[in-house]
Amino acid sequence: MIETTTAQTAEAAAQGAQIIDVREDFEVADGMIPGARHIPMGQILARLDELDKGRPVSVVCRSGNRSGRVAEALTSLGYEAYSVAGGMMQWQAEGRRVEIPA
């Protein structure tokens, strides 16, 4: 699995990168990385059509465990996928901005 830092993810997000939040609905209610798309871990395979295989994708969860598994699965399917080290816990601990989903 390849990891990316929260700083690298913030820079990628500012440039419109693909960021997938694989947490559950109740978890994302507390905030997501601005511009991230919410696809719960259990729905990833059924929703691959929402991802652009030609662009890198950063995957985030609460702490980095689920995102690591999803990034590995996506990599095995031919995606350039990265797990955000430390997940949303690290993102928020650094005081980074979050969006509350509608």
**pLDDT tens digits, 29-76:** 999 999 999 999 999 999 999 999 999 999 999 999 999 999 999 999
Q: Is-catalytic flag, 12?
A: no
pLDDT band at 90 (very low <50, low <70, confident <90, very high): very high
Res 40: pLDDT: 98
Q: Is the pLDDT of residue 16 over 90?
A: no
Catalytic residue among 44, 59, 61, 88: 61
Residues 45, 97: Cα–Cα separation, whole Å: 29
- Residue 86 CB coordination number (10 Å): 19
Quote the number of domains for the chain.
1
Verdict on whether the full-model pTM lies above 0.85: yes
Position 100 in a domain: no
For residue 58, the domain's CATH number is 3.40.250.10
Q: Within a domain: residue 14?
A: yes
- DSSP string for 18-71: EEEE-S-HHHHTT-B-TT-EE--GGGTGGGGGGS-TTS-EEEE-SSSHHHHHHH
